[in-house]
């Protein structure tokens, strides 16, 4: 059963996406080493994996070098929610730049294949819609989101330079807004904020007029896309967009969450954060072609299990 097993390192493995990825890789029969400094991640996300003897947890900050032996590296370590990545912006740039250099250096030394969790934020506030991988983006390099946006752009630069200079096997996934279970209660991103507010009967906070749009991908679809990308032939490097092209305004999202939770929360309009992108939708033509991948779970179908997860989390903390 374990004849094709690989030793896989997942940085940021105790986070939202990382914990799902660790779980899927274990199900596929691989040895998983989860590295996390618990900046935004939580032991709760991986506690059920600790009894699996093919799972290992290492508390470590990837801005410092790491010496381990693995076959593949998924580099996910980085706070992803604006409130968290803006809390310590210098550390956010460090995790993307120093962290990526450390993980690329490790991959180079041990000849491992390495995948970078990049982001739709590399497109900034996009002037092209939907966004194909060829679009070079519209990013402010001195704004409050820049530590993340420019950090992730620099990480992509590093991945491609290591690839060209050292013939390394790299994969770059540009992930669009993804949601699902194991998001932190105070994650701060829109889907979790709205669900938690609706479940607690608190006002739903819409920033700006609510007509800005996002495209929301359910976590299971995203993880399948990430693993498919890692398993492509060596000549496939990406960048590849991974996300659900179904696009919704933030107001539409609020209305759906209120409806699905049967909440009597009111909508409260608040100031729009600086540099908040107006629209976002992935062009996934490339992912369809090279990965034969597309998301299967529409928004409403994915919101239900996410709501159940938050209901249980809130109950367990009460």
Structure tokens at 227: 């693993």
Q: Is 42 in the site for ligand UDP (CB under 6 A)?
A: no
State the minimum distance, in angstroms, from the CB of residue 303 to ligand NAD: 15
Q: For residues 179 and 218, is the Cβ–Cβ distance under 8 A?
A: yes
Among 22, 25, 34, 40, binds ligand NAD (CB under 6 A): 40
State the minimum distance, in angstroms, from the CB of residue 66 to ligand UDP: 28
Q: Is 193 in the site for ligand UDP (CB under 6 A)?
A: yes
Using CA atoms, how far residue 20 sits from 34, 57, 79, 170, 313, in Å, is 11, 14, 16, 21, 17
Q: Which of 74, 148, 162, 179 is catalytic?
A: 148
CA dist., res. 188 & res. 163, Å (int): 35
18 binds, among ligand NAD, ligand UDP, none (CB under 5 to 8 A by kind): ligand NAD
CA dist., res. 295 & res. 202, Å (int): 32
Nearer to ligand NAD, 61 or 150 (CB): 61
Alpha helices (H) along the chain: 16-27, 82-85, 89-110, 146-166, 190-199, 219-230, 250-261, 285-291, 299-317
276 binds, among ligand NAD, ligand UDP, none (CB under 5 to 8 A by kind): ligand UDP
Among 66, 79, 153, 303, binds ligand NAD (CB under 6 A): 79
Q: For residues 22 and 58, is the Cβ–Cβ distance under 8 A?
A: no
In sequence order, which residues have a C-beta less than 8 Å from that of residue 49 and are 6 or more positions away? 19, 22, 23, 26, 32, 34, 55
Q: Within 271-310, which residues bind ligand UDP (CB under 6 A)?
A: 273, 276
State the minimum distance, in angstroms, from the CB of residue 82 to ligand UDP: 5
Annotated catalytic, 148?
yes
CA dist., res. 256 & res. 36, Å (int): 34
Q: Which residues are marked as active site?
A: 148
Q: Which residues bind ligand NAD (CB under 6 A)?
A: 11-12, 14-18, 35-41, 61-63, 76-80, 95, 99, 117, 119, 175, 177-178
Q: Which residues bind ligand UDP (CB under 6 A)?
A: 81-82, 177, 189-190, 193, 205-207, 212, 214, 250, 273, 276
């Amino acid at each position: 059963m374990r004849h094709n097993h690989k030793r896989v390192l997942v940085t940021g493995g105790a986070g939202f996406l990382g914990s799902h990825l660790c779980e899927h890789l274990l199900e596929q029969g691989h040895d998983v080493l989860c590295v996390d400094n618990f900046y935004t991640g939580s032991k709760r996300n991986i506690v059920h994996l600790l009894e699996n003897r093919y799972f290992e947890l290492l508390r470590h900050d990837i801005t410092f070098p790491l010496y381990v032996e693995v076959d593949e590296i998924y580099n996910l370590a980085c706070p992803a929610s604006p409130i968290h990545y803006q809390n310590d912006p210098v550390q956010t740039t460090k995790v993307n730049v120093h962290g990526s250099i450390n993980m690329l250096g490790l991959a180079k030394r041990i000849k491992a294949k390495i995948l970078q969790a990049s982001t739709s934020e590399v497109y900034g506030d996009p002037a092209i819609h939907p966004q194909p991988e060829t679009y070079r983006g519209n990013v402010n390099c001195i704004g409050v989101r820049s530590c993340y946006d420019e950090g992730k752009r620099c990480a992509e630069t590093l991945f491609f330079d290591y690839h060209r200079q050292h013939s390394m096997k790299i994969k770059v996934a540009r992930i669009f807004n993804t949601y699902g279970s194991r998001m932190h209660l105070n994650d701060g991103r829109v889907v979790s904020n709205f669900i938690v507010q609706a479940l607690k009967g608190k006002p739903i906070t819409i920033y700006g007029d609510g007509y800005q749009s996002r495209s929301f991908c359910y976590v299971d679809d995203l993880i399948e896309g990430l693993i498919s990308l890692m398993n492509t032939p060596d000549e496939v490097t990406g960048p590849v967009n991974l996300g659900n092209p179904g696009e919704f305004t933030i107001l539409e999202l609020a209305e759906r969450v209120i409806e699905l939770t049967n909440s009597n929360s009111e909508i409260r309009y608040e100031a729009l954060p600086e540099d908040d992108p107006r629209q976002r939708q992935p062009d996934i033509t490339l992912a369809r072609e090279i990965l034969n991948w597309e998301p299967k779970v529409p928004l409403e179908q994915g919101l239900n299990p996410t709501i159940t997860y938050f209901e249980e989390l809130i109950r367990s903390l009460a």
